Amino acid sequence: MFRLLKLWHGGVWCMEMLINILVGLALLCLLVWLAWKIVKAAMNRSDEPAALGLKWLITLVLVGFWVFALRGLLSSGPGVVIMVPISVLIGFILGILWTPTLAKTLVSPLTSMFDGGNIEAEPVPFYAIAEAKRKRGLYDASIAEVRKQLAKFPRDMQGHLMLAELFAEDQGDVDGAVECLEQFYAEHELGAVNGAFVLNRLADLQLKFKKNPQQARAYVQRIHSDFQDTDQADKALQRIAHLQDEDFLVTRQDKKKFEVKKSNLKLGLMDHSEMVQAPVNDLDGKAHELVMHLEQHPNDTDAREQLAWIYAKHYGKIDWAIEQLKELAHMEHQSVSQIARWYHQMADIHCRFSGSSEAAKFALEEFIQRFPQSGHSERARTRLKRLKLESKTSKKSQSDETGSFPSKMD
């Protein structure tokens, strides 16, 4: 029985010893791993990693020598006296080694506020050399420099646009410029904003250099088809409505002639009825032209706004004018500031031409109800307080004018 207990105690002691050894090894490995990580991180952040590595090596040698000497000298009485100057000497050497590094580490939080510290700058393409060579007329060298940067940053849009500009404007290679931008658009997911910008630039190349409005219109149409339900798609429709045709591009190349009529030297002696009258705009023709244009391009906001004011001023058709502005105010993808402007124009038309401050008030209140948290709503609330005064002033100014507007439409 006694032998069994002795063997059991011996086994427990061996097990405890094994566990202690394993725990010690695990802690030692953890400390070595942490020390390596710290040293590696410090060397990566350091401006002189080789010098820092040498400091660590000298430190480890000195500390190892100090530990070895401590074990040997402390075992004898006189060794304690010898160990004191050795410790002071090693501490002095370590102080010389690490004081600059420690001082820099302590001050770095303050200095990094001004110089950015050890944060690495994000790499960006550098086109200054290419631009300088372009200004000197070295177009081939400039193109080569741009291509060198694009090899490092293939997704950089500025570089591709600059390359296309060099091809088209400096070398006259419009097809090369178009190919460059089309390839960039096809190979990368650019998103609505950048994609629309590239396609618009392609349309500009077709209009400016090739005088091809059909191809330009096709590029702008791709914006509407590729990025549906976005602001860029709506702006594309606006641009399509205003793209010039071939006849306009051809006639624009002709020199415009200005005919100067000979003035009447006896103008001051003429009766008022004989004096030269200012030309009257053909608003009927303009209105017809706008109506036909809006049938083809119903989303052209500029044309619809012009038509609304012609209805109000020239024909006196207030309801027709308000209908056009309401259609504008309820279009999709319009900014709040633009919508606010159209509602204020509704109020202007009511005050100036119908004298109805109530109708103007209703228009402004409708905008406030749609956008109650907008800053433009505060402006509308401020205007509500002076609508009656605006209406009275407009009535008085219209009563003083005679023949201000042509007869109403039948």
pLDDT in tens, 44-65: 556 666 777 777 778 777 777 7
Q: Express each pLDDT in 214-255 by its tens digit.
A: 888 888 888 888 888 888 887 887 788 777 654 445 445 545
Query: What local confidence, expressed as pLDDT, does residue 250 receive?
Result: 46
Return d(Cα 324, Cα 351) in angstroms, integer. 17
Q: What is the pLDDT of residue 109?
A: 66
Predicted local distance difference test score (pLDDT) of residue 356: 75
Of 137, 122, 62, 50, whose CA–CA distance to 92 is shortest? 62
244: its two tokens: 């010039």
pLDDT in the model for residue 369: 85
Indicate the class that CATH gives domain 128-220. Answer: mainly alpha
Q: What is the pLDDT of residue 407?
A: 36
The set of residues, in sequence order, having a beta carbon less than 8 Å from that of 203 and lying 6+ positions away, is 215, 216, 217, 219, 220, 239
- Where do the domains of the chain lie? 52-107, 128-220, 291-400
pLDDT at 117: 59
0.85 cut: is pTM over it?
A: no
Residues in the chain, pLDDT under 50: 5, 246-248, 250-251, 254, 271-276, 278-280, 399-410
Per-residue model confidence (pLDDT) at position 8:
53
pLDDT of residue 349: 86
Query: What integer pLDDT is reported at residue 230 of this predicted model?
Result: 82
Query: What is residue 251's predicted lDDT score, i.e. its pLDDT?
Result: 46
In terms of CATH architecture, what is 291-400?
Answer: Alpha Horseshoe (1.25)
Residue 326: the pLDDT is 86
Listed in sequence order, the residues at least 6 apart from 406 whose beta carbon sits closer than 8 Å to its beta carbon are 283, 314, 315
Q: Which pLDDT belongs to residue 6? A: 52
